[in-house]
Structure 1
Amino acid sequence: MSLNEDISLRDSLPSDVGEQEAHNTGQDAHNTGQDASNLDQADSRIWESKTKRACVLVGSAILQLPIWGRLKFNYNFVAILLTYAGFAMNYGVFQEYYSSNWTLQGSHEVTGIIGTTSNGVMYLSMPFLFALFTRRWARRRQTAALCGAALTCISFLLSSFSTQVWHLVATQGVMAALGCALIYSPTTLSLGEWFTTSNRAVAYGVVLSCKNIVGSACPFLMRGLLDRYGFRVTLRIWTAIAAATSVLAIFLIPTYPSSISSSTHRTRKIPWQFLKHQTFYIYAVAIVFQSSGYGIPQTYLNTYAHEITLLSQTSATLLLTIFNIPGIVASSFFGYLSDNKRFSLSATTVTSISAVSSALSAFLLWGLTTQGSMALLVLFSMTFGFFAGGYSATWGGVINELEREAAQRNEAIDTGMLYGLLNGARGIGYVSGGLAGVPLLKAGSTSSVGSFGYGTTYGPLIIFTGLSSVFGGWGLLWKWKKLLHLV
């Protein structure tokens, strides 16, 4: 076609055809720009969500210091006070310090209930606090956590002015525990909401690993502060540490948006249908058993090292650190096992791995220690600390399994409330173990029978630790029983 023909053909076309082509071209450009803008907004939202999740994870990790460092502080504070009260007379290590610095009125043995009371108050209050903040007061989570931080700091500050032993029990065992429960409950609810089913167990595992980092560092930190400054100044230093870390971490954990929006409307009731099913009680009872034995080595390993294996105070303190260090890896490991999709393991299998292995550690390592056998005690601390310390990281898998069971029954389930009840079961276990420890210790042989730990006054405690640990995995037996009935 010639140039003149082409021009004449264009002139002969209707004018609206050209306008339509121009309009279509402009519309395509507008749509392309709009799509690009939508993609940018989606990328921005994804990036913002990932950033907030990272902040939530970091904030939850930092909170392990004021929350669980308080508990480790109590345990080590009590252990060192008891050392001043008793072991110093035998070994002469702290005799001078004790005689010149012990000013509290009351029985030294009463200090032993601080850790147990603190554990019981904190864990047993969690089901109520989780129920309160999961829906009804979701908007007030940060405010509640800040109030908890204030209560914790005030309680430690007040305890620095204690003149009687019961003052320590009231401030550290009750007030500080309630404050930490107020911090832990709302922030943990937010953690579980920001991390969904696919990665919830891993998130719990990472945070629990940080808890074990705190447990590994606190024995030496507390011992150094107490030896250098005394317990009054140490308590004030700890107050400052708790205040700084808790306030920073709480502001890093925003409440999940859907929880805020739902709380502005008519408050929905918590679905309690899961309480009608056997699976929940199987896991709850297992947690009670495991927790009752888990606290025994933490409470008595220090004194066992002194009295039976005749280790120095420094070596005994090292055992507490070694006990917590493996849990750093174990919590993330068991969280990964619970969430792993490539090698899928049921929650009962993962909990049983933790329970049976920790029981074998108690029976074969702690029970067979002899005088001066530090190597065997170190091995026990490492293995029991790894397998028993990772048990609570399996709860993410337990919650995932209960969620799937609820979905199969077409029922709603509140995972935050469920996690709070599991913590309540842990509290029952801790209190039970603490109450059982004293009579079990008295039931032991006053004179050594044989050369192993079983023949000492700690023999019943060792057996109790092993048995309660193995029953922490009894869910596997229940599962096998169901399979046999199906066959």
Structure 2
Amino acid sequence: MSYGVFQQYYSDNWTLEGDRSSTGFIGTTANGVMYLSMPFLFALFTRRWAHRRQAAALCGTVIACASFFLSSYSTSIGHLVATQGITSALGCALIYSPITLSLGEWYSASNRALAYGIVLSCKNVVGTSCPFLLRALIDTYGFRTALRAWTGIVGGMSIIAICMIPTHPSKLLAHETRARKIPWDFLRHRSIYFYSTAIIFQSSGYGIPQTYLSTYARDILLLSQTSGTLMLALFNAPGIIASSLFGWLSDYKRIALSAQVVSAIPPLACAVATFLFWGLTTVQGGIGLLVVFSVTFGFFAGGYSATWGGMLKQLEREAAERNEAIDPGMLYGLLNGVRGIGYAGGGFAGVGLLDAGMVTASTRFGYGTSYGSIILFTGITSLLGGWVVLWRWDLRRGVLLVSELARIVNRLHF
């Protein structure tokens, strides 16, 4: 959530071996690795090893702390990718997966989406406060000491929190009986593929602003490092409210909105914010529009994960109608894995698109800067993240709409 601070520092103070532009995908790689590992971890801890969840989370804390500590001794881009981008992510996934499984089991009957939303809002609390903390540590002591201090913060707070998380009683005795096989019947139905496609597109664009907002503010708008850090905080802050709001909206029965509609609202709103606010940010004096973009995009993108509770409820209803078994915990892990594909893909695409540069001849707006291709990529992937709304239409109309959107984007000029 706060990697953009390190990204800005690496760009300004590059002393390591390797291509400094490669630092652009460290943050998205970390997110991608963490989410890609979740389907396997959720499958591991959902039944037979449920009683090992707390021990696994503590092991994850050790791995994450060791990775951040070793990262402070990095001498090349390869070291940073390995420690900050891969092993720390695996440790964080070992913390997140067993805790999230327990949460879903305690709220299996009602208000599960809201519970997910409240917990997910906590990551935005961290994403709002930690950029300033990390910026102060880096400016005062350098990035190596900052990473060592972060190691202590992660270790201390994680151990205390993990010891407070209870595993549901129904799972504590699961290892003493013969474990049932995980049901995979949901893979035969198209709903999981519609939602997975939407999540891949949405997450491909979501990680881009987190990584590049700070450097965009500095390189294009010529703002100070403090202003770049502020942009990152403004990006994360609205998600504190949005996660709970969209979780509540997914659970609220008095508003007749389907899971498709609720999950389509965030990515479509993000697409509008990207095209109108970030893309039309003027090179001179464009901080106002960039602030509006950070807040708007951060609000809707930050609340997207909370809509997954509604997706799970719909998939559970479909399974009940077909008299099929379904494991919500495993399904939630699979959705996280799909998101990892989008994160990783978006990170690698961002590095290449930054080299591609502008998309128009005009240098007045954001599209005409070196970040133009990245802006367009973020907007298009967010737009496609609303793909689930096409579920209500026939496929032919959906294909025609996508073709028309592609034609309009292709004709954009300023």
Do these two structures clear the TM 0.5 threshold for a shared fold by scoring above it? yes
CA distance in 1, matches of 2:73, 2:286: 41
Of residues 444-453 and 293-302 in structure 1, the stretch that sits farther from structure 2 once superposed is: 444-453
- The answer to whether residue 253 in structure 2 is matched with residue 341 in structure 1 is yes
The aligned counterpart of 1:77 is 6
Describe the shift of the 1:208–1:156 C-alpha distance in structure 2 as closer, same or farther (beyond 3 A): same
Given candidates 452, 466, 471, the residue that maps to 2:379 is: 466
The aligned counterpart of 2:404 is none
Given candidates 395, 412, 420, the residue that maps to 2:308 is: 395
Name stretches of at least 5 consecutive residues in structure 1 with no aligned partner: 1-70, 86-101
After TM superposition, the score normalised by the length of structure 2 is 0.92
Q: How does 1:183-202 map to 2 (within 5 A)?
A: 183-202=95-114
Given candidates 312, 318, 330, the residue that maps to 2:230 is: 318
- What amino acid does structure 2 have at the position aligned with 1:384? F
Of residues 260-269 and 420-429 in structure 1, the stretch that sits farther from structure 2 once superposed is: 260-269
Deviations 1:256-299 (A, max 9, x none): 11112222100110010001110001000100000001111112
- The answer to whether residue 203 in structure 2 is matched with residue 291 in structure 1 is yes
Q: Is the contact between residue 359 and residue 367 of structure 2 (CA under 8 Å) also seen in structure 1?
A: no
- The answer to whether residue 17 in structure 2 is matched with residue 117 in structure 1 is no
- What amino acid does structure 2 have at the position aligned with 1:329? I
Q: How does 1:107-256 map to 2 (within 5 A)?
A: 107-256=19-168
- What amino acid does structure 2 have at the position aligned with 1:304? Y
- What amino acid does structure 2 have at the position aligned with 1:79? Q
**In proportion to residue count, which structure has more helix?**
1
- The answer to whether residue 373 in structure 2 is matched with residue 444 in structure 1 is no
The aligned counterpart of 2:189 is 277
CA distance in 1, matches of 2:322, 2:83: 46
Report how far residue 401 of structure 1 moved: 0.7
- What amino acid does structure 1 have at the position aligned with 2:45? F
Report how far residue 442 of structure 1 moved: 2.3
Report how far residue 422 of structure 1 moved: 0.4
- What amino acid does structure 2 have at the position aligned with 1:80? Y
Describe the shift of the 1:444–1:234 C-alpha distance in structure 2 as closer, same or farther (beyond 3 A): closer
Name stretches of at least 5 consecutive residues in structure 2 with no aligned partner: 398-414
- The answer to whether residue 370 in structure 2 is matched with residue 457 in structure 1 is yes
Report how far residue 444 of structure 1 moved: 2.5
Given candidates 379, 382, 393, the residue that maps to 2:295 is: 382
Percent identity (aligned) = 63
CA distance in 2, matches of 1:168, 1:471: 32
The aligned counterpart of 1:406 is 319
Report how far residue 351 of structure 1 moved: 1.1
**Root mean square deviation of aligned Cα:** 1.9
The aligned counterpart of 1:424 is 337
CA distance in 1, matches of 2:382, 2:254: 28
Report how far residue 450 of structure 1 moved: 4.3
CA distance in 1, matches of 2:254, 2:359: 53
Report how far residue 255 of structure 1 moved: 1.2
Q: How does 1:29-44 map to 2 (within 5 A)?
A: none
Report how far residue 164 of structure 1 moved: 3.1
- What amino acid does structure 1 have at the position aligned with 2:31? N
CA distance in 2, matches of 1:114, 1:375: 29
